[in-house]
Amino acid sequence: MQSQKSPASDGYPETIRRPRDVDTYVSVLDSTLAYARRRDYIGPDYGDGMSSQLLQALPFENRVLNLVVQEVVKRTPVDIRPLLRVEHRRNYKGAALFAMANLNYHEFASRRGEVDDLAFDPVAEADRLAEWLLEEQITGYSGFCGGHRHEIQHFHTKGVPSDPDIVSTAYAVKALLRATEHGLGDEYADIARTATAFLVEDLNYREVEEGAKIDYHMNHPEDSYTVNAAALGAGMLVDLYEHFGDEDLRERATKILDHIAANQTDVGGWPYRLPASASHLSMDNHHNGFVIEAFQRYRDVIDADRYAETLADALEFYRTELFELDGAPNFDESNAYPRDIHASTQGILVFAREGDLEFAERILRWVLANLQVEEGQFYYRKYRHHTKRVTLMRWCQGWMSYALSEFLLATHNRADEQSSVETERERVSLHS
């Protein structure tokens, strides 16, 4: 639950005062996007160890060996991808994040009257990335969908590039809808709309006693349920409902979130999977942030009351258990480390949407102090005694550019609101 702040001297709660270093943050966003553009949005990614050319050259395949290589690449203190010849690719979800960050940057610059001063055309970049999302969509399914472009070894199954998932699809849909809203063509939204069929038919949308469920991806084990993936699927339906207004989108989103709300723990969070015993993660930070953001979207677009208590409890748990007072992200409810940049960026998104810009800025400042290599380049994780010194294109750069761009738009919206209030005060004062 969002804590109440004492009024500041200007009459506004501290949580909505203007951030201290807006111009600095704009420079960081510009540099972050420039880092990605120079590399054409291609780079190492979380969990890409299966793309090792040495591993692929072996005359046999072994699930345990796959997991070992994948996790060693992910967890070693130094980047061993060059040693294992891990191929770099453009990540599907990452492209969606970069597309939205570019559109946000253009909108922010437009509001400040600075578009003509930009060194590049962010709308053209977003359009190019949106086109790539269409070109790289996975075909042969009931509707628009996408997935990782490298193999991923799960504990039970192996995700392959032709195996779409709801998480990648949901962010691509969001990016395509944003592209249409920014005047880049109705066809983006029309294609995104077909993702509903993918969710309903291919991901086995089914109603259950507490609401409805969907699968994370096509080969998900039947003995567990991935909570955050379902929440992102519901969020995708909310995004589509906001754009198209189809009642079936609202109804399905509601049923999926009903089930998630019914399975909220007493402390306010959710384990990665249900049952919790089937999960390799506890109530970790960024996945709980995904769930919270889905409930925020439902509140802001459809109904402010239906999940009010669920959201209040979730936000209280998220803020007090998954973040420190200085904005440092805890890994889960029991462990501070590793402190992950994805957790930080998701926190910025959640608290910016909640209107708590003071705490969102606190998280942002922690990232800049602890995970920024140089302006616009970020490291992946900070452990207790070392930092994972690798820059992941989607996990670090994509999420940071998107979160920072959303934060900057939120600050501008807040400034506009305050200006309107001040103008109204002056008008009333003059006529009193």
Distances (CA, A) of 31 to 34, 105, 195, 318, 432: 5, 12, 33, 30, 49
In percent, the amount of the chain with pLDDT more than 90 equals: 82
What residue type is 144 in one-letter code?
Answer: F
Q: Which of 157, 308, 148, 168 is nearest to 232 (CA)?
A: 168
Provide φ and ψ at 108, rounded to 5°.
-65, -45
Averaged pLDDT for residues 158-186? 94
Tokens 């800025």: give the residue: 361
Take residue 168 and report the two structure tokens written for it: 């990648």
Residues paired with residue 217 on neighbouring β-strands, in sequence order = 165
Contacts of 21 (CB under 8 A, 6+ apart): none
The pLDDT-based confidence of 279 (bands split at 50, 70, 90) is confident
Q: How far from 331 is each of 340, 369, 388, CA to CA, in Å? A: 7, 18, 15
Residues 239-260, mean pLDDT to the nearest whole number: 98
Q: Which long-range contacts (CB under 8 A, 24 or more apart) does 11-17 make?
A: 12/418, 14/358, 15/355, 15/356, 15/357, 15/358, 15/359, 16/355, 16/357, 16/358, 16/414, 16/418, 17/357, 17/358
Residue 12 has pLDDT above 60, yes or no: no
Q: How do residues 107-121 score in pLDDT, each as one tens digit?
A: 999 999 999 999 999
**81: Cα separation from own chain's centroid:** 25
Give me the mean pLDDT over the 328-332 stretch.
Answer: 98
- Nearest 5 degrees, angle CA 182-CA 183-CA 187? 110
Tell me how crowded residue 303 is: count the other CB atoms within 10 A of its CB.
12
Domains and CATH numbers, the chain: 14-423 (1.50.10.10)
CA 388, 394, 399, 404 dihedral sign is positive
Phi, psi of 88 (to 5 degrees): -85, 140
pLDDT digits (tens, 9 = 90+) for 60-74: 989 999 999 999 998
For the chain, first and last CA: distance in Å? 39
**Alpha carbon distances (Å) from 305 to 300, 302, 310:** 10, 9, 10
Q: Are 340 and 290 in contact, with CB atoms under 8 Å apart?
A: no
CB 324 within 8 A of CB 11: no
Q: Work out the pLDDT band at 223, boundaries 50, 70, 90.
A: confident
Q: Do 389 and 79 contact (CB within 8 A), yes or no?
A: yes
